[in-house]
Amino acid sequence: MNDTTATFSPHAVLKRYFGYDAFREHQQDVIETILAGKDAFVLMPTGSGKSLCYQIPAIMRSGVGVVISPLIALMQNQVSALRQNGVKAAFLNSGLSPGEAETVSRQVAAGEIDLLYVAPERLLMDRFQAWMRRLPVALFAIDEAHCVSQWGHDFRPEYLRILEVTARFPHVPRIALTATADAVTRRDILEKLHLNHARQFSASFDRPNIRYTVSVKTNGKKQVHDFIRAGHAGHAGIVYVRTRARCDQIAAWLRDRHINALPYHAGLPPEIRALHQQQFLREDGIVMVATIAFGMGIDKPDVRFVAHLDLPASMEAYYQETGRAGRDGRDAEAWMLYSLADVVSMRKMLERSEGGEDIKRIRRQKLEALLGYSETVSCRRTALLGYFGEPYPGPCNCCDTCSRPPDTWDGTVAVQKALSCVYRTGQRFGAGHLIDVLCGDLTERVAQLGHERIKTFGVGTELSKAQWRSVFRQMLAAGLLTVDMGQIAGFRLTAESRPVLKGEKNIRLRKDPPAIRPLARKASTSRPDAEQGLKTNGTGDLFEKLRRLRLDIAQKAGLPPYVVFHDKTLQELALARPGNRFELLQIPGVGDRKADRYGQQFLDLINADEHTE
């Protein structure tokens, strides 16, 4: 902590170091809770400014704030950005040489560091704890706190032992933060970290700038290519897939079609992963094709889309991953494909997963919620926020079901036929064979098994095979079928099947819309957009000049461009055209250190631009 900082208010620190005039929802209350020495639990969506909730108290309180972070890339990015803002921050992790680690340790012991980022594995080392007990500790910040919960989407066993360490510092306030946690996960976090008496802060989960779309997968590679080309050519984005081989394949396929795509997965050599991540952060227009190994801690604000070519693991995972789009507040898209094969695959993975029946039951509920979201005929935002316990009246007019409401049809008879076919064939076959039977297709396998002689052979000719695949997909999603995990995997009836078969329950199904070429993204009309202001005021050329200057500065400093200034800050610079340092400091995102370091270059460019008009 600087000698002068103790006399500063949280607002003054916010302005001085981060360049903003006002706090967002809950930030000030959280900060004041920690400054008062009390614990806090913070649940805020990605991009809402969670980090400030512990960074400002660490700057203001005596001692060093210890931030427990799960990924080396996450802590390195945050420390780099903090140093640009003039904050005394450092990290200790396995990426440092012994000499570099010793230098950081000396700086911390000398009171020269306000924020120290460490991984949970280092926190648990006896030697590190002995060293830490000799320090004044300002606070413990447990970032990505959902990692402590076995019900969460990213469980890390090391997180369960964090309490062992923090309990030895009973007078040091703790703050646990996460962007995604349903009610079960929230309770688990509070219990595992002994935070039941902490003040709890929960911000809205709504990301109004994100448009949500879910489509049926027909040709995934072509669909994602068309999606990017139609609405996001030249934009930064993330495409999530389930397997490493598929990741490599999709990235290469997109590159062959002139989309600047890179693969990222745990099977790549560490130096290649690091290179690809660095390119994604520092260059414009990179599309990262990735498994879930990529994403946590990626603070790139101008990601314009997140696409899922395979179903994510849960609604929490979906929300967390889609939340990496549009962190700058500008329009972005969350776009997902899914198919009957995805549903079957996810159910197989669930039943084969480790853990007792209680864990599997919770996971089934999470999968059912995701499938229900995918098949909903109502507003997707209402369904997504409702999962996290947040009412939303809808319609949002910013999702596919609002803009193109799907048609529904009475599928009761079709479902009865399908359930009867599953039963009469012995509950051991997948959709392909069952659809052949229903459509009366006398294949070699149907004849071999004698299934042309059962009552359901040929009773479903009123529907095409594509329509039957939709029926089976929606039956799985509704829990009317399950996947038998015996030696021969096939569909089985469930307790929910009986009332439908007996005619006691009617079923409505959604009609899969015809394949539609995606439209170019229209700017949102629901909120003011600085980008529209640039066009209206004719300052778009200046904005592009400012972006080029920022890129040049970032490349020389070896930084991602957004660490210098966010696009939103450049937009405000282009609109306001400050003429001196005082006016520059009125721009959101320009603090004292950045004004000192970069301000004159941007002022000179703005001044030169005015004289060329």
- DSSP H or E segment with residue 492: strand 490-493
pLDDT of 318 over the 50 cut:
yes
| Per-residue confidence (pLDDT) for residue 487, from 0 to 100 | 46
Summarised one tens digit per residue, pLDDT across range 268-287 is 998 998 899 889 988 889 99
What phi and psi values does residue 188 have, to the nearest 5 degrees? -65, -40
Other CB atoms within 10 A of residue 127 CB: 8
Angle, CA 424 vertex, CA 421 and CA 430 arms, to 5°: 55
Between 347 and 248, the higher pLDDT residue: 248
State the pLDDT confidence band at 538, using cuts at 50, 70 and 90. Answer: low
Beta bridge partners of 213: 335
Dist CA 181 CA 147 (whole Å): 10
- Note whether 313 and 368 are within 8 A (CB): no
Report residue 274 CA to chain centroid gap: 20
- Rounded CA separation 325/334 (Å): 7
Strands 408-410, 508-510: parallel, antiparallel or unpaired by DSSP?
antiparallel
pLDDT at 603 over 50: yes
pLDDT value at position 481? 85
Report the range of poorest mean pLDDT among 227-241, 308-322, 510-524: 510-524
What's the gap between Cα 24 and its chain centre?
20
Q: What is the mean pLDDT of residues 464-476?
A: 87
**pLDDT tops 70 at residue 316:** yes
Given a cut of 60, is residue 329 above it in pLDDT? Answer: yes
Question: Which is more confident, 510 or 34?
Answer: 34
Convert the pLDDT of each residue in 484-536 to its tens digit.
Answer: 655 456 788 988 899 999 999 999 888 886 654 444 444 333 334 445 555 55
Three-state SS annotation for 299-336: CCCCEEEEEECCCCCCHHHHHHHHCCCCCCCCCEEEEE
Distance CA 280, CA 560 (A): 9
Beta strand pairing status for 287-290 and 261-264?
parallel
Q: Among 130-139, 355-364, 381-390, which is the least confidently predicted range?
A: 355-364
* Residue 77 token pair: 């990015």
Q: What percentage of the chain reaches a pLDDT higher than 70?
A: 91
pLDDT at residue 184 is higher than 50: yes
CB 247, CB 272: distance < 8 Å: no
Write the pLDDT tens digit of every residue in 142-151.
998 988 886 6
Total number of residues shown for the chain: 613
> What residues have CB less than 8 Å from 538, skipping those under 6 apart?
none
Lookup result for tokens 């070896």: 558
**Minimum mean pLDDT among 235-249, 376-390, 400-414, 588-602: which range?**
376-390
Burial of residue 412 (CB within 10 Å: 0-12, 13-18, 19+) is middle
Q: What are phi and psi of 442, to 5 degrees?
A: -80, 75
The mean-pLDDT minimum among 18-22, 66-70, 276-280, 372-376 falls in 372-376
What does the pLDDT average to over 61-87? 89
Q: Please state the φ and ψ torsions of residue 519, each to the nearest 5 degrees.
A: -85, 150
Q: What is the average pLDDT across 219-239?
A: 94
Strand ranges inside 182-308, DSSP E = 199-202, 210-216, 236-240, 261-264, 287-290, 303-308
Q: Over 80: is that where the pLDDT of 333 sits?
A: yes
The predicted structure's pLDDT at residue 526: 36
E-strand spans in 77-209? 89-92, 115-118, 137-142, 174-178, 199-202
Report the mean per-residue pLDDT for the chain.
Answer: 87
> Cis before residue 391, ω within 30 degrees of 0?
no
Query: Average of pLDDT values for 456-482?
Result: 88
pLDDT at residue 533, rounded to an integer: 55
pLDDT of residue 520: 43
Task: Give mean pLDDT, residues 394-399.
Answer: 91
pLDDT at position 299 over 50: yes
Tokens of 43: 């649940």
111 confidence band (pLDDT: 50, 70, 90) = very high
Amino acid at 588: P
pLDDT of the residue at 611: 63
Across 94-122, average pLDDT: 92
Q: How far apart (Å, rounded) are the C-alpha atoms in residues 248 and 264?
A: 8
The band of 392, judged by pLDDT with boundaries at 50, 70 and 90, is: confident
The pLDDT of 205-226, averaged and rounded, is 93
pLDDT at 523: 37
